[in-house]
Chain A
Amino acid sequence: DGGITQSPKYLFRKEGQNVTLSCEQNLNHDAMYWYRQDPGQGLRLIYYSQIVNDFQKGDIAEGYSVSREKKESFPLTVTSAQKNPTAFYLCASSIPLPSIPGQWNQPQHFGDGTRLSIL
């Protein structure tokens, strides 16, 4: 079955350490996204990528980095510059909407998430 796989499910980071969260999709979607979820908050966009080798900052990109070397993969690195990394991270993918209303038929698909905690 097609879907989005995030790994690991749980991740622990030591102070000053960079960690990388994996996101792989086999849906043949062009666009991929990373969201962060904190308690009492909705999801906030960290980075997104519309095509291979291209990505843009979202609303809360500071302290994070991404790469998009393959269509299927969009890893997120939480760097030591991110001072409050404890959160639930969700990866998503979609086919970009057409510019003509009425021809869109695909929702944004989400992975099962990675919970990152500080040791």
Chain B
Amino acid sequence: AQTVTQSQPEMSVQEAETVTLSCTYDTSENNYYLFWYKQPPSRQMILVIRQEAYKQQNATENRFSVNFQKAAKSFSLKISDSQLGDTAMYFCAFMKGSGGGADGLTFGKGTHLIIQP
């Protein structure tokens, strides 16, 4: 079974600062996918960024980037130039690559990120 650990229950930074959210995972799989989801107060789940484990290059999406360290089983999210709209719960999630990945996601407990004006 897989486990995902987010060790920061809550973080608070000033607007325009850069913030890094931590995530570690444990798995015996070699083929897998990692995700960061954002959940604003509306409770909608929004995909922020994804990383395929076989890719060494870190994924980037505009102000969002990841630091994927496969050997260390670490997958942190960096948000640059943070904005008030980034205030949300952020969840790290794992998906097996085998079996088509159709057996669902394993989530961490989340980090509540607060961007202060």
Contacts of A98 in B (CB 8 A): 100
Number of interface residues of B (CB under 8 A): 31
Q: Are A42 and B91 in contact (CB under 8 A)?
A: yes
Residues of A within 8 A of B102 (CB): 30-31, 48, 50, 94, 96-97
Residue of A nearest to B44 (CB): A112
Q: Which residue of B lies closest to A90 (CB)?
A: B45
The size of the chain A interface, using a CB distance under 8 A, is: 30
Contact (Cβ within 8 A) A40 B97:
no
Within 8 A of A (CB), among B10-43: 31, 33, 35, 42-43
The CA of A96 and the CA of B96, in the complex, are separated in Å by: 11
Query: With an 8 A cutoff between CB atoms, is A52 at the interface?
Result: no
B residues apposed to A, CB below 8 Å: 4, 6, 9, 31, 33, 35, 42-45, 47, 50, 52, 54, 91, 93, 95, 97-110
